[in-house]
Amino acid sequence: MSNCFMFQLSYADTDPALSDRKKYHNFYRTVPSDNDFNPARIALLRKFNWTNVGTIFQGVSKGTARYGHAHNNLVSLLERANINILKSVAFVNDPEPAILTLKNDRIAFLKFVITSLCTRDTSNTSLLVILTI
């Protein structure tokens, strides 16, 4: 099968792991990876001079750590931008306990909800950036 030139085109999968060209050299998508939104998040934080953040993200569920990859990328970009991460909290299915954890630590927040653009399904929430005041 090494001479087979099959390509896979996805119109909905945003998993950052699929961006690995060495592993998935025949995979293409029509939507951006979840990681592609992180530079815009950093730019927004810089625009408003927000230097302290807390994050909440969906952890491992349904056998995938896809949102963890995007979160790890965001954390790396935040560190390079000298933006302090006060707290990072993960949830699996229900985000309420994680949100309460942040509230109990007195982290006020403005949220950026990233959802699947194709399905408009809010159960696919991948990342919330929590900003302190």
Q: Cα dist. 16→48, 54, 83, 122, 132 in Å?
A: 27, 22, 23, 19, 27
First to last CA, the chain: 57
pLDDT at site 61: 63
List domains and CATH numbers for the chain: 33-131 (3.40.50.2300)
Full pLDDT tens readout for the chain, 133 residues: 455 678 888 888 888 788 888 998 888 888 888 888 889 889 988 888 888 888 888 776 655 566 777 888 889 999 999 998 888 888 888 888 888 888 787 775 555 443 333 334 444 433 444 443 3
pLDDT at site 108: 58
CA atoms within 13 A on the CB side of 26: 7
Identify whether the C-beta of residue 88 lies closer than 8 Å to the C-beta of residue 107: no
Report the alpha-carbon distance of residue 108 to residue 129 in Å, rounded.
11
Instruction: Tell me the two tokens of residue 114.
Output: 């990233």
pLDDT at site 88: 86
